[in-house]
């Protein structure tokens, strides 16, 4: 199964590229000029996103380095103990919506410390894989089109992160118990 899936992921991009180019060629689209024209759009989009990302990265980085994140973790600990949530995984669950690289570092550290085939190692890997950095996605997607008010999108993103964390715990406990 995995071999089939990894083969698919290996072939997906080259086949997509070839298919799009050949389809365009066959429809008499000047493929090179069209590609260059479209790629220019990538530049303007990046420039539009840049200020939003800088703002968000500064805030997240300051929050982490000031020790505020540790305080938040400590404050939430009693609640999580009550829910029988493994305390080693708390930093990962809390950091996941804020920073992708930060939470990846924590997940890697957990796997290194407890072993990839331990309960905590499997849970960390599943949790990291099944949620996304909501704040980053929101910043990039809405920043690119100049949305100021994100309406209820952030709430939906954070609730779904929480759901991802809970489902990871339930499913890993059930399957690897």
Partner 1 sequence: MLNVIWLGLIVISIVVAAITGRMEAINAAAFEGAKTGVTVCLGLLSVLAFWMGLMRIAEKSGLLELLARVLSPIIQVLFPDVPKGHPAMGYILSNMSANLLGLGNAATPMGLKAMEELQKLNPDKQNASPAMCTLLAINTASITIIPTTMIAIRMQYGSVNPVEIVGTTLLSSFAATIVALLIDRMYRYRHIRRHR
Near partner 1 in 11-50, by CB under 8 A:
12-13, 16-17, 20-21, 23-24, 26-27, 29, 31, 34-43, 45-46, 49-50
State which residue, 5 or 83, has the beta carbon closest to partner 1.
5
Query: Tokens 């000047």 sit at which residue?
Result: 30
Query: Tokens 């920043």 sit at which residue?
Result: 143
d(CA 53, CA 62): 14
Query: Tokens 């530049």 sit at which residue?
Result: 43
Residue 103 binds partner 1, judged by CB under 8 A: no
Residue 175 binds partner 1, judged by CB under 8 A: yes
- The token pair that represents 13 in the structure block: 């991009």
Chain Cα centroid distance, residue 122? 18
Residues in 77-96 that interact with partner 1 by CB under 8 A: none
Residues in 58-77 that interact with partner 1 by CB under 8 A: 58-68, 71
**Minimal distance in Å, beta carbon 94 to partner 1?**
13
Burial-class residue 40 by CB neighbours within 10 Å (0-12, 13-18, 19+).
Answer: exposed
End-to-end CA distance of the chain: 23
d(CA 65, CA 71): 11
**Minimal distance in Å, beta carbon 53 to partner 1?**
4
Residues in 104-133 that interact with partner 1 by CB under 8 A: 104, 107-108, 111-112, 115-117, 121-122, 125-132
Residues in 144-173 that interact with partner 1 by CB under 8 A: 144-157, 159-161, 163-164, 167-168, 171-172
**Minimal distance in Å, beta carbon 105 to partner 1?**
11
């Amino acid at each position: 199964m995995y071999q089939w899936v990894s083969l698919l992921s290996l072939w997906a991009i080259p086949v997509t590229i070839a298919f799009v180019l050949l389809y365009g060629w066959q429809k008499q689209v000047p493929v090179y000029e069209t590609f260059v024209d479209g790629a220019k759009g990538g530049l303007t989009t990046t420039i539009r996103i840049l200020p939003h990302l800088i703002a968000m990265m500064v805030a997240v980085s300051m929050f982490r380095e000031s020790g505020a994140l540790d305080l938040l973790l400590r404050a939430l600990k009693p609640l999580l103990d009550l829910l029988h949530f493994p305390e080693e995984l708390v930093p990962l669950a809390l950091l996941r919506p804020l920073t992708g690289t930060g939470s990846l570092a924590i997940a890697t550290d957990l796997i290194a410390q407890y072993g990839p085939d331990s309960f905590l190692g499997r849970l960390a890997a599943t949790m990291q894989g099944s949620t996304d950095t909501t704040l980053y996605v929101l910043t990039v997607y809405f920043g690119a089109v100049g949305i100021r008010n994100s309406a209820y999108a952030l709430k939906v993103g954070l609730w779904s992160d929480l759901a991802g964390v809970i489902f990871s715990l339930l499913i890993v406990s059930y399957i690897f118990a």
